[in-house]
Amino acid sequence: GAVVSQHPSRVICKSGTSVKIECRSLDFQATTMFWYRQFPKQSLMLMATSNEGSKATYEQGVEKDKFLINHASLTLSTLTVTSAHPEDSSFYICSAREKGLAYNEQFFGPGTRLTVL
Amino acid sequence: AQSVTQPDIHITVSEGASLELRCNYSYGATPYLFWYVQSPGQGLQLLLKYFSGDTLVQGIKGFEAEFKRSQSSFNLRKPSVHWSDAAEYFCAVGDMNRDDKIIFGKGTRLHILP
C-alpha cells in the first residue's frame, strides 16, 4: 500500500514551453501533497504544499506564477512549469500524506526528470 | 528554526564492514525522524522512522537507527553492508508546527569498496 506515482518519469522540452507533471496516490486518499525539486548531488528542497481543494502554499523564493500547482482531487496533484527555461531543469519529486493518519509520514513518488533545452 | 545536519558528505566502507551515518537535528519538541535512501535517478525509499517509544528503531534492509535526545542525534547503522547499499542517504525531521513539512539533511553518499 501507500504507493505514489508520477508521470512522466522523464520529459525533455524546449525553452518557453510549459510542462505538466502529475502526482497520484494510487491506493490512498491524500489530503496533502508536497512538491520538491532536487538539483544534481543535492538534497530535496520543498517547493510548495498543496491541500485538496485549496490554493497551494509556496516556500519562500518559489515563483507561484511559474510553478502552478493544482490539487483537484484527493488522489491527484499537478505541477505545471510554465515558460520553462534551462535553469528549471531538475528532478521533481512529489509526496503525499495519507488522510486520517495521526502522524506526518509522507510517501514519495519516483520523481520526474525535467530537461529544458 | 528546525534543521537537520548530516556532517559526512561522503562515506566509503568495505563490503561486509559495519556502517554508521550521522545525523543531528534541531527541533523544539520531540521530533518525527526519518531516514530515506535514494538510488541514482530514483525517488526516495523510507528505511525507518521514529515517532515515539523505543529509541532503537529497526528498519528495512537490515538498517537500524537510535534516537538520542541528549545528543539530538538519530544515527543510522548497519552491521554489515552490501554492495547494493551504495546510494544517497537522507536524514529528515518532520515539522508538526509547519503543516507537517519534512526537512531534509543534505545527504550522505555511501560508497562501497569490493
Smallest Cβ–Cβ distance between A110 and the set B42, B101, B109 belongs to: B42
Nearest to B43 among A41, A46, A108 (CB): A108
% of chain A residues with pLDDT over 90:
68
Question: Among A18, A19, A47, A29, which Cα is nearest to A112's?
Answer: A19
Distance, CA of B101 to CA of A26 (rounded, Å): 21
CB contact under 8 A, B32 and A113: no
Q: Cβ of A95 under 8 Å from any chain B Cβ?
A: yes
Number of CB atoms found within 10 A of residue B49's CB: 18
- Per the listing, cell 537510535 goes with B66
Considering CB atoms only, which of B45, B90, B100 is closest to A97? B100
In angstroms, the separation between the Cα of residue A70 and the nearest Cα of chain B is 18
Cell of A57: 502554499
Query: What pLDDT, on the 0 to 100 scale, is given for residue B98?
Result: 62
Quick one: average pLDDT of A98-117?
A: 83
Q: What distance in Å separates the CA atoms of residue A15 and residue A19, rounded to the nearest whole number? A: 10
What tens digit of pLDDT does each residue of B41-83 get? 788 899 999 988 899 999 999 999 999 999 999 999 999 999 9
Which cell goes with B38? 535514494
Identify the CA nearest to B77 among candidates B48, B97, B53, B101.
B48
A17 to chain B, minimum CA–CA distance in Å?
Answer: 24
What is chain A's mean pLDDT, rounded?
91
Name the pLDDT band for B106 (thresholds 50, 70, 90): very high
**Is residue B95 pLDDT above 80, yes or no?**
no
CB distance A113 to A91 below 8 Å: yes
State how far Cα B95 lies from the chain centre.
Answer: 16
Q: DSSP of B11-40, one letter per residue?
A: EEEETTS-EEE--EEE-SSPPEEEEEEE-T
Tell whether the model's pLDDT for residue A106 goes beyond 90: no
Q: A71, A90, A106: best mutation site toward chain B, by most B Cβ within 10 Å?
A: A106
User: Is-contact A31 A51, C-beta < 8 A?
Assistant: yes
Question: Does residue B1 carry a pLDDT above 90?
Answer: no
**Whole-number pLDDT of residue A1:** 64
